[in-house]
A = this chain, B = another copy of it.
Amino acid sequence: MTSEFDEDTAVPEDGAITLTGRWDGSGGVVNGGYQMAVCAKALARVMPHPDPLVISGFFLRSGSPGPATVRTEVLRAGGSLSFGAATLAQDGEDTVRATAAFSRPGKQNGLLFHGTAMPALPPPDDCVIVYPEPGDESPIDQRIDVRAPELPGWLRGQPSGTPAAEFWLRFADGSDADIFALPLLVDAAPMVVRELDGHGMTVELTVHLRARPAPGWLACRSLTRHVAGGYHEEDFEIWDSAGTLVAQSRQLCLFWR
C-alpha cells in the first residue's frame, strides 16, 4: 500500500504535481515542510547522489491545495557531495525556493559526540494521544500520530510559558518515515510558541538530514530559545527507534499573539 506521504509527494518527470490539502494547517495553508519534501523528491530525480543531506527553503508566498510545478537545477555534481535548487510555483508565481546538498547514505561511524541525548519518554503506549483528536479541524493533525507523557499546556487552555516539547511522532496511516519525510515531520507539529500563547509563520526552514530513519516511532524535541523583535526561531530534533539522531532543523518565523 502506498502511504499518504508517498502519494502526495510523487513528482513526475515534468514536475507537474498537485499539492493536496491533506497536510494543511488550520488556516487552509499548505504546510511548508510538505512543500520542502516535494522539493527534495523532485531534486532526487536529478541529483547524482541519493540522499538529501541538508535542505534550506524560503517561503516566498503561501501555497494552496491544487496544481503546482517544481523546477530543478543541478548547481554542482561533485564526487562526494552534489548541490541543487528547486523552485515550487503555483499560478505562475514562485512559492518556495529550496536549495540542497545531496550525498551518499549517512554512515554511523567515526567519533560520536552528543551534547543532548535522545528525549527520555515513556513507551508510546504509556503516553496520551495528543493528535489526532476527534473533531480536530486541521487536516495535518489527522495525518500524524503524536504521543506525549501529558497534553501540552496550551491544548489544556493553560500555556506553560516554556516554549519546548518532547513527544513521539509517526504517520497516522502507520507507514514508516523515510529520509524524504523528515523535512515534513520537523514542521508537522504545532509550533511550541503556543506555550507563550503565540503563533508563527515560517520565513525560512533549514533541515539537516543526519541519517536514514529506522522503522518505528520517532522521538522528537522542539524548542524555541529567542522571541524578539517580532520573530522567533524553532529548533527540532528527530531521533529514530534505533537511537540515531536523524534530523535537526531550525526555522525562522514571524511571531504574533
Report yes or no: A226 in contact with B210, Cβ–Cβ below 8 A. yes
Is there contact, CB below 8 Å, between A226 and B114? yes
Q: Does A43 belong to the interface (CB within 8 Å)?
A: no
Whether B255 lies near A110 (C-beta < 8 A) is: yes
Could you tell me if B113 and A163 are in contact, using CB atoms closer than 8 angstroms? yes
Q: Is A69 an interface residue (CB 8 A)?
A: no
Q: Which residues of B contact A204 (CB under 8 A)?
A: 54, 56, 101, 206
- Flag whether A2 is at the interface (Cβ < 8 A): no
A100 to B94, CA, bound (A): 15
- Which residues of A are at the interface with B, using a C-beta cutoff of 8 A? 53-54, 56, 58, 60-61, 75-76, 78, 81, 83, 85, 94, 97, 99-101, 106-116, 163-164, 196, 198, 203-204, 206, 208, 210-211, 223-233, 244-245, 248, 250, 252, 255, 257
Q: A106-B229, A113-B196, A208-B252 are in contact. List 10 more A-B contacts (CB 8 A).
A: A53-B231, A54-B58, A60-B76, A60-B83, A83-B97, A109-B230, A111-B196, A111-B257, A115-B223, A226-B245
**Interface pairs (22), CB distance under 8 Å:** A53-B203, A53-B252, A58-B99, A60-B83, A61-B76, A75-B94, A76-B94, A101-B204, A109-B229, A110-B227, A111-B196, A111-B227, A111-B255, A112-B228, A206-B250, A208-B231, A208-B252, A210-B226, A210-B229, A210-B231, A211-B228, A211-B229
